[in-house]
């Protein structure tokens, strides 16, 4: 077996094993962290004359009124009645203490008098704790798309400095794969958001918006290259690849710099259990190996295209 | 079991997405390989005529 083939099979097998290990660990070993507001919600009349202290996950918090929606036998969600800006430090999944009074026991509607956001990344848990485990493939997908666009950026710089088909092949291939992984991250996010936030998408969320812009930027990069002669567009695409990379750090830091409902546990001490951290690392390694495998195959396709162009030129030259 | 269905939907989505893309790449590669073989045949034919 050729050395290249052996590397390809090794990468594919390794990544597939690790992807399944990630899913297995996420489902069976990562502990569930669920919110608990059910005690109050089960007996609202008992609390009518008292101030309520609700520990739970809220969607918006700059509100005066909110209610608890029955989501099943024991799950309740704090729902916003008046939307507004988010208090500083608020993120989905973070513990929130809302003190308020019951104004309608039938509708489980409360008026808040105090909103407190937990410090030190204390997690209140998740409304849909199983859905939260989507994180272990959603985040690695996003990471691989950042890596792929980073490779487009680096290859584009080298192409402009040194020239050569090779760097254009790598940039073009990496951009296509990056869009595939970015699409998977963008599609898997809303599957989590629906049970957790109650909506599939929030345009006002900076993380979601900047990632969508990132996806559009590299979709544009790929569109630029469709049906246009390679030599003509290679340098223009390289400039696009360099400028477009601005969207990557923007997407990455958006939930850290601006207020966002998007959870942001990576890199925050105490935000994840040891098992969750390990599972995430396995997921990242798995999808990175798969990315390397796909990149090798995709670059090979670009080489084949070059070969076809050369053969066609040879034939045209022969006829002439 | 809140969110379990969504978990399976998302994992299936990611799995299928990657699988379909890899099958697509394989198909593209096979198509190009066939085209190269055809073109090589044409080049050889021209060589004989020459």
Q: The pTM is what?
A: 0.80
Residues of A with CB under 8 A from a CB of B: 19, 23, 27, 34, 71-72, 75, 126-134, 137-138, 141, 180, 183-184, 187-188, 191-192, 194-196, 290, 294, 297-298, 300-301, 304-305, 307-308, 311-312, 314-315, 318-319
A192/B6 Cβ within 8 A: yes
> Which positions in chain B touch A297 (Cβ < 8 Å)?
22, 25-26, 29
| Of A306, A318, A304, the residue nearest B45 (C-alpha) | A318
Q: Are A20 and A60 in contact (CB under 8 A)?
A: no
User: Nearest to residue A295, comparing CAs of A173, A184, A180?
Assistant: A173
Name the one residue in this structure whose structure tokens are 């849909």. Answer: A128
**CA distance linking residue A233 with residue A230, whole number of Å:** 6
Lookup result for tokens 């509607």: A109
pLDDT of residue A282: 97
Mean pLDDT estimate for chain A: 77
Tell me if residue A103 falls in helix, strand or coil.
Answer: strand
Contacts of B40 in chain A (CB under 8 A): 311
Contacts of residue A10, Cβ cutoff 8 Å, sequence gap at least 6: none
Query: Closest partner residue to B18 among A290, A311, A318, by Cβ?
Result: A290
Which of B2, B9, B12 is best to mutate for the A interface (most A CBs within 10 A)?
Answer: B2
* pLDDT of A287 strictly over 90: yes
The per-residue pLDDT for range B21-48, each reduced to its tens digit, is: 999 999 999 999 999 999 988 888 776 6
What is residue A58's predicted lDDT score, i.e. its pLDDT?
Answer: 45
pLDDT in tens, A68-103: 444 333 334 444 333 333 444 555 555 555 555 555
Contacts of A315 in chain B (CB under 8 A): 39, 42-43, 46
Which residue of chain A comes nearest to B43, CA vs CA? A315
Are A27 and A301 in contact by the 8 Å Cβ rule? The answer is no
Q: Which residues of B touch A (CB under 8 A)?
A: 1-4, 6-7, 9-11, 13-15, 17-18, 21-22, 25-26, 28-29, 32-33, 35-36, 39-40, 42-43, 46, 50
Residues A171, A238 contacting (CB under 8 angstroms): yes
Provide ipTM, 2 decimals.
Answer: 0.90
pLDDT of residue A164: 83
**For A137-147, what is the mean pLDDT?**
97
User: What ranges make up the beta strands (E) of A119-204?
Assistant: none
Mutate to test the interface with B, among A130, A141, A200, A215 (most CBs of B within 10 A): A130
- Of A146, A137, A156, A264, nearest to A214 by C-alpha is A146
Nearest chain A alpha carbon to B46 = A318
Q: State the DSSP H helix or E strand holding residue A286, giving kind and residue range, or none if neither.
A: helix A274-319
Take residue B20 and report the two structure tokens written for it: 């379909």
- Within 8 A by CB and 6+ apart from B38, the residues are none
User: For tokens 């049970």, what's the residue?
Assistant: A195
Alpha carbon distance A59, B16 (integer Å) = 31
Between chains, do B7 and A311 touch, taking CB under 8 Å as contact? no
Tell me: pLDDT of A109 over 60. Answer: no
pLDDT of residue B44: 82
């Amino acid at each position: 077996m050729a050395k290249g083939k052996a590397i390809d099979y090794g990468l594919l097998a390794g990544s597939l094993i690790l992807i399944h290990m990630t899913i297995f660990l996420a489902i069976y070993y990562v502990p569930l962290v669920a919110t608990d507001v059910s005690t109050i919600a089960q007996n609202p009349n008992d609390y009518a004359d008292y101030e309520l202290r609700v520990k739970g996950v809220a969607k918006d918090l700059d509100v005066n009124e909110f209610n608890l929606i029955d989501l099943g036998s024991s799950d309740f969600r704090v729902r916003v009645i008046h939307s507004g800006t988010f208090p500083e430090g608020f993120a989905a999944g973070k513990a929130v203490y809302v003190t308020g009074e019951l104004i309608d026991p039938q509708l489980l509607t409360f008026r808040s008098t105090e909103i407190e956001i937990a410090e030190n990344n204390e997690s209140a848990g998740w409304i849909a704790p199983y859905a939260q485990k989507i994180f272990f493939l959603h985040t690695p997908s996003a990471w691989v798309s950042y890596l792929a666009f980073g490779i487009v950026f680096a290859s584009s710089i080298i192409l402009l400095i040194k020239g050569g088909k090779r760097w254009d092949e790598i940039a073009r291939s990496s951009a296509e794969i990056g869009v595939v992984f970015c699409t998977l991250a963008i599609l898997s996010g809303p599957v989590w958001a629906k049970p957790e936030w109650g909506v599939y998408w929030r345009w006002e969320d900076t993380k979601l918006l900047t990632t969508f812009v990132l996806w559009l930027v590299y979709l544009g990069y790929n569109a630029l290259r469709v049906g246009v002669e390679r030599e003509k567009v290679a340098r223009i695409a390289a400039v696009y690849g360099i400028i477009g990379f601005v969207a990557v750090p923007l997407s990455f830091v958006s939930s850290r710099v601006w207020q966002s409902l998007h959870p942001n546990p990576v890199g925050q001490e105490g935000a994840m259990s040891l098992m969750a951290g390990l599972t995430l690392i396995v997921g990242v390694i798995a999808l990175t190996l798969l990315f390397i495998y796909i990149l090798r195959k995709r670059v090979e396709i670009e080489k084949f295209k070059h070969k076809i162009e050369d053969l066609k030129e040879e034939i045209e030259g022969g006829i002439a | 079991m809140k969110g379990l269905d969504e978990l399976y939907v998302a994992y299936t989505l990611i799995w299928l997405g990657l699988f379909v893309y890899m099958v697509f790449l394989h198909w593209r590669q096979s198509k190009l390989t066939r085209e190269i073989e055809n073109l090589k045949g044409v080049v050889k034919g021209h060589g004989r005529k020459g």
